[in-house]
Amino acid sequence: MFMKTFEESWIAWVDGELSGEELAEFKASLPDISVAEMEKQEAFKLGNLLRERIGVRAMANGEFFQHQLLQEIEREAASASPRPETKARESWWSIGRLVWTGAASLALLSVFTFFVMREKTVGGRSAYLTQIIDARVDPAVSPNANISIFESKENKVTVVWVNGLQSLPSEYAAK
Amino acid sequence: MSTAPLPFGRLGVVLIVSLLTLGMASTQATETVWSGLVMANNVPAPTPIPAELTHLEGTLKQLFGYNQFQVIGQSRKSLNNGEENWLATSKYFSLHVDSKGIQGGSSYLLNLQLFQEKKLLLETEARLSKRSPLVIRGPQIGDGQLVLLLVVE
């Protein structure tokens, strides 16, 4: 049991909460019991007056404020914990996703490469082979010359084969 | 492991990256055309074939039946816009090449003229492909053969 201070004992006495030995001790500690009784009465009156004037008002829209407070609490709790969207964004570039993305890129590259690099054919011959548009010799210089054109499949070589040009002596092979 | 489908935005990124990679791979550097006047003949001890013709050695031997090929005149021309002209010359022959542009992104439109000194022996218009060398059989010289070659390097 605690020892009450004078103020605590005074308040308890005013409120009528002291009894027995405690009450006797408190009264004995008072310098003037009649003055104290007057103060007690005034304090009692003041307490009654305050209770009359400033009563606890019942809130007309208490549920609304309660709802508002609950919503605010939920918002704060949600902002404190990590957002599901952020979590999803962080986990998108996981190892599995990277593997799939890499595989998809390689597949696309292969498809594009196939379409770009595949051999085109024009009129039954490869567009990537050298084509001879025209070949001619001067009939006045080489009246017996004739020209044939063919392709060597090896190395994809295009050959212009000229027959009948005038033969020349070996000194024409000089550098 | 998550198995959610790829969102369109990321698929778009993948597509763009693939296209860029393909574009970079297909970006072409400046190309060089090697033009040569080559003497082909048969000799007991043939000299090694010039480096420019190494990859064509089998084809040339098969086509012409000679065992030696020597360069008597050559020119190596870098093509920037495909509209250049150049000359490969030997003592008596000259090959004049006039490039008229790139066609279809993969071949050069060329006009070729073979002169024996000032005499025009042969004229050819060709679309020279980057993957396909051009071989022209020229006149017989002594016991050999003059061969003209154009190769995109």
pLDDT of B3? 46
- CB contact under 8 Å between A158 and B134, yes or no, is yes
* Contact with chain A for residue B147, Cβ under 8 A: no
Q: What is the pLDDT of residues A4-35, one digit of tens each?
A: 788 888 888 888 888 888 888 888 888 888 88
Tell me which chain B residue has its CA closest to the CA of residue A147.
Answer: B137
Specify burial of residue B2 (Cβ count, 10 A radius: 0-12, 13-18, 19+).
exposed
Q: Which helix (H) or strand (E) holds B108?
A: strand B107-116
Instruction: Please report residues of B whose CB lies closer than 8 A to that of A168.
Output: 92, 116, 139-142
On whether any CB of chain B is under 8 Å from the CB of A156, the answer is yes
Spatial distance between the Cα atoms of B68 and B143, rounded to a whole number of angstroms: 12
**Chain A closest CA to B145's CA: distance in Å?**
9
Average pLDDT, chain A: 82
How far, in Å, CA of A129 to CA of B111, rounded? 17
Give pLDDT tens digits for A96-140.
888 999 999 999 999 988 877 665 555 555 667 899 999 999 888
For residue range B104-143, list pLDDT tens digits in order: 777 899 999 999 999 999 999 999 998 899 999 999 999 9
Q: Rounded to whole angstroms, how far apart are CA atoms A122 and A127? A: 6
Contact between A162 and B122 using a beta-carbon 8 Å cutoff: yes
Disruptive mutation site among B16, B27, B59 for chain A (greatest number of A CBs within 10 Å): B59
**Span A50-105, pLDDT tens digits:** 888 776 666 677 788 888 889 999 988 888 766 555 555 666 678 888 899 999 99
Phi-psi region at A123: left, alpha or beta (left = phi > 0; alpha = psi -120 to 50): left
User: pLDDT tens for residues B19-54?
Assistant: 666 555 544 457 899 999 999 999 999 999 999 999
In degrees rounded to 5, what are phi and psi of residue B61?
-65, -40
Is A165's CB within 8 Å of B139's CB?
yes
B152 to chain A, minimum CA–CA distance in Å?
11
Do A159 and B63 make contact, defined as CB atoms within 8 angstroms? yes
Kindly give, in sequence order, each residue whose CB lies less than 8 Å from that of residue A121, ignoring residues fewer than 6 positions away: A127
Higher pLDDT, A128 or A43: A43
User: Which among A92, A133, A165 has the least Cβ separation from residue B126?
Assistant: A133
Q: What is the pLDDT of residue B27?
A: 47
The interface predicted TM-score of the complex, written ipTM, equals 0.81
Q: What is the pLDDT of residue B29?
A: 56
Task: Give the H or E element holding residue B143.
Answer: none
Is residue A171 very low, low, confident or very high in pLDDT (cuts 50, 70, 90)? very high
Return d(Cα B105, Cα B28) in angstroms, integer.
9
Position B2 scores a pLDDT of: 44
Q: What pTM value is reported for the model?
A: 0.58
Whether B72 has a pLDDT exceeding 90, the answer reads: yes
Inform me whether the C-beta atom of residue B127 falls under 8 Å from chain A C-beta atoms.
yes
CB B115 within 8 A of CB B132: no
Closest residue on chain A to B1 (Cα) = A96
Please tell me the predicted confidence (pLDDT) of residue A133: 94
Nearest CA in chain A to B127: A131
CB B107 within 8 A of CB B129: yes
Residue B83 pLDDT grade (very low, low, confident, very high; cuts 50, 70, 90):
confident
| % of chain B at pLDDT higher than 90 | 66
